[in-house]
Amino acid sequence: MNSIEALREALLRFRDERDWQQFHSLRNLIVSLNLEAGELLELLQWKSDAEIAALPADAAGREALADECADVFLYLLLIADTAGIDLLDAAAAKLAKNGEKYPVEKAFGSRAKYDRL
């Protein structure tokens, strides 16, 4: 897959071949994205920091991470499609906003929230 646009087209084709758009209300998609985010979180459950850091080096751990990241991404693309949002533009715009909230000279090396910088 070599572009987000090609992925988006493959995804919408997948959805439409199955006649699933009828289930893809914004509510259902956002709930589903949260459930997939939870499955990503579940990969960490009961694990120490060292065990988590070692996950990507293990074939099964890495595939599980990749699959759950993929599920979140696919729902994100469906939400964006349903809401008429261009995901790349939205992310670039948000990054610019974040740059104003976290100017380099204040935020350097700090994990404080912007209202505490």
Q: Site residues for a second copy, window 4-43 (CB under 8 A)?
A: 4, 7, 10-11, 14, 17-20, 22-23, 25-28, 30-35, 37-38, 40-43
Residue with tokens 């589903």: 32
93 binding a second copy? (CB under 8 A): yes
26: number of Cβ within 10 Å: 11
Q: Which CB contacts under 8 angstroms, 24+ apart, belong to 6-11? A: 7/77, 8/77, 8/81, 11/74, 11/77, 11/78
Our finding on whether 78 is near a second copy (CB under 8 A) is: no
Of 69 and 115, which has the nearer Cβ to a second copy?
A: 69
Q: Which of 59, 60, 84, 100 binds a second copy (CB under 8 A)?
A: 84
Q: Applying CB under 8 A, which of residues 83, 100, 101, 114 lies at the interface with a second copy?
A: 83
Distance CA 64, CA 70 (A): 10
